[in-house]
Amino acid sequence: MRNVLLALAAAALLAVPNAARAQAVSFSKDIVPILRENCAKCHNARQTTGGLSVVSYAGIDKGSKGGKILAAKPEDSRLIKYLTGELKPQMPPTGPLKPEQIAKIKAWISQGAKADVEPNQVVISETTIPTVKVPKIPLKVPALPQAAALAWSKDNKILAIGTYKVVRLVDPSNGQTIRELPGHADVIHSLQFSHSGKLLAAAGGPPAQQGEIRIWDVATGSLVRTITGHNDFIYSCSWNKDDSLIASASYDKLVKIWDANTGNEVKTLKDHADAVYAVAFSPDGNLLATGSADRSVKVWEVASGKRLYTLSGHTDIVLSVAWNEKGNQLTSVGADKTIRTWNVNAAAGQQARNSTGHEKSVNEVVYSPDGNMLATVSDDHSAKIWNAGNGSTMQTIKDQPEALLSAAFSGDNAQIAIGSFDGTVKIFNVKDGKPISTVIDLPKAPEPKPAPAKPEAKPAPAKPAPAKPAAKS
């Protein structure tokens, strides 16, 4: 009997660590599959939304822009708070995790959030991340791709319109399409005619993959060169004075300068802390201005690639920058609804004026060719033309159906083209702000099909007359 009791006691002692091991949560076996299926689409090596990457333990331990996401206790963990909806927006955006999945992550944190792999080991490879399935929703009314970029040739003969995968070259005098330049990877975000007028650069690229600049021969419509680079799409591009260089600004936080004749990368400029939305060479080609989601405007020396100084003042994303024709003033606009003009040179820059007038984000600013006017377009469905000398408002083009994304002055400064989120492109008179023409209009909704005619009711068959009774004999 004593031997039996000893055996039972030994078995019980041996069972305790087994039970403990059964309840232990493994980072690689239990947590990584949850993160791969639900989080890695937006928090990976290419797309670190909110500054968070979950493809390695080190990335999770580092946390996001808001700080650490792990803590000693689950109730103090920002990761748990986002998963449960205590912090907004609740994650993942596609729908909450199952209760048992959240419980498993809580248990892992309670056990010390330990890693059973090397901290920097990539535990979620790019090829294993599930792709986002976009449902196909049939359109009831035809839709146009957004008119995200515009450029007007100096001779007034061509208006270039950048949409989804296609650039349209249009005769602005009659709205007729001269030719289309197809084959782009995604939305064209920036269009720039070379200073010679012979070439057109169109920039964009597939998001979270790479940037793309296609250079076209304007006269023939032939593709001269395709430049690919960056780790995300390009928001803006710019030619230098002699058309030998092209600069690009990308969502990957980098600015690159390319040899326009070979497509080779010349320099990469690194200093912005967030996506770079705007880039522009100064008229003499010696300086480069950039605007970023980090709320700053930076001025660079082109020859050395050195950042000369930073212009601070914007309180939100900087979306567009433009130089005046003399190169002594730079104007920037963005999501803080302001239009800021800076006096600049190679040594320093200082804010000269801060103008307001738009009620929502200002998406683009352009100077007129003569440098006397500025135009801005906004999410508030309006465009404004400003006196570049004193900042006063000259014209307001308002009450447009949708947000306005792009603008371009004609070469003679007399007209301005406006591109909209709904895909329409309209031309207005600069002097009075009145519409001149609609280059691209919304497609008409299909005529409703008439209801099928009801079949005519057939008359009921006549009842036979009753038979006459036979005559009595």
From first to last of its 473 residues, the chain has per-residue pLDDT tens of: 445 444 444 444 444 444 444 479 999 999 999 999 999 888 988 788 888 999 899 999 999 888 899 999 999 999 999 999 998 889 998 889 999 999 999 999 999 999 999 999 998 888 888 776 667 777 676 778 999 999 999 999 999 999 999 999 999 999 999 999 999 999 999 999 999 999 999 999 999 899 999 999 999 999 999 999 999 999 999 999 999 999 999 999 999 999 999 999 999 999 999 999 999 999 999 999 999 999 999 999 999 999 999 999 999 999 999 999 999 999 999 999 999 999 999 999 999 999 999 999 999 999 999 999 999 999 999 999 999 999 999 999 999 999 999 999 999 999 999 999 999 999 999 999 999 999 999 887 666 677 676 666 666 666 666 666 655 54
Collapsed DSSP state (helix, strand, coil) of residue 35: helix
CA 28 to chain centre: 33
Specify the amino acid at residue 442: L
Q: How far apart are CA 30 and CA 160, in angstroms?
A: 53
Tell me the C-alpha distance between 66 and 315, whole Å: 18
Rounded Cα distance between 168 and 179, Å, is 6
CA 216, distance to chain mean position in Å, is 24
Q: Provide the pLDDT for residue 77.
A: 93
Angle at 90 (CA atoms; ends 85, 91), nearest 5 degrees: 125
Query: ∠ CA 464-467-470 to the nearest 5 degrees?
Result: 170
Token couple for 426: 């309209």
Angle CA 271–274–276, to nearest 5:
80
Chain-centre distance for alpha carbon 201:
19
Strands 307-312 and 318-323: unpaired
Domain boundaries defined on the chain: 2-128, 149-440
CATH number of 149-440: 2.130.10.10
Q: Is 161 helix (H, G, I), strand (E, B) or coil?
A: strand
